[in-house]
Amino acid sequence: MSVPVVPVAICPTGTKKPNEINGVPVVPLVPVKKHTTRMKIQVIPAPNPNSLKRCWPWQTYPAPLPDVQKLAHHEAGHIVMFEWLGFSESNATITPTGGLAYFGTNPGRATVGPLDESSEITAMAASLFHGGVIAELIFAGGVWTGPLFYPWASDYQRANDMLRADFGNHSSAGHAFAQRTALNILSERWPRVHEIAKHLVRHGVWPASTL
């Protein structure tokens, strides 16, 4: 499998462009330990709005092999982000080879448009789509040092679609802010993520009322 090309960090207008990174993984993600509700998760602080002007080096994130626990935590991360954004009806399903999380009564291509003209709000809303991969990162005990680049995934594509108008295509600033927002929310609410993931592993669906 070829290594995806990592884009040059695209900076907001007027900021200094960092050194280019041409397809070389910047920081490999090395799993440390898998977390449970009994392990203390360090709460990651929310990003400062000033960081929207910062350029970040990308981290490559290879396509994961199917793993039920990882899939469950991925979809649980989305559900918790849905809850944080105020979506009262959220659902998820997993199988041995994939999963889906959505809000509303019918599954489909869930999209969230920019909530107003504020770039900060747009970046915060994009965290909904990054919630799955960030939950995987926390579950694996990985360390976030820059925005995760995984363009093969629909989650990344949807986040990028949302961020493009305000930040440009593949903006490291926009994706970093969105992912750090998800890190803050999910690390703070990790017991809830684990609760939903545990239920998904056992039953394959969320919420429990769907059984």
Residue boundaries of the structural domains of the chain: 54-104+118-210
DSSP structure class, residue 171: B
3-state helix, strand, coil in the chain (%, to 5): 45, 10, 45
Q: Return the pLDDT at 124.
A: 93
How many residues are recorded in the chain?
A: 211
**Cα 49 to chain centroid, rounded:** 18
Q: Return the pLDDT at 89.
A: 77
Q: Return the pLDDT at 118.
A: 62
Interacting residues of 200 by C-beta distance below 8 A, sequence separation 6+: 71, 72, 75, 76, 92, 93, 94, 99, 206
Q: What is the pLDDT of residues 19-68, one digit of tens each?
A: 343 343 344 444 445 555 445 678 889 999 888 888 899 998 887 777 89
Q: Return the pLDDT at 23.
A: 40
Q: Return the pLDDT at 102.
A: 74
Q: Return the pLDDT at 210.
A: 57
**Cα 129 to chain centroid, rounded:** 6
Q: Is the dihedral of CA 48, 50, 53, 55 positive or negative?
A: negative
Q: Using DSSP bridges, classify how beta strands 90-95 and 205-206 pair: parallel, antiparallel or unpaired.
A: antiparallel
pLDDT in tens, the chain (211 residues): 333 444 444 454 444 444 343 343 344 444 445 555 445 678 889 999 888 888 899 998 887 777 899 999 999 999 999 999 888 778 888 887 788 887 764 444 444 444 445 689 999 999 999 999 999 999 999 999 999 999 999 999 999 999 999 999 999 999 999 999 999 999 999 999 999 999 999 999 998 565 4
Q: Return the pLDDT at 40.
A: 67
Tell me yes or no: is domain 54-104+118-210 CATH 1.20.58.760: yes
Q: Return the pLDDT at 194.
A: 95
Q: Is the dihedral of CA 83, 166, 184, 194 positive or negative?
A: positive
Q: Return the pLDDT at 162.
A: 94
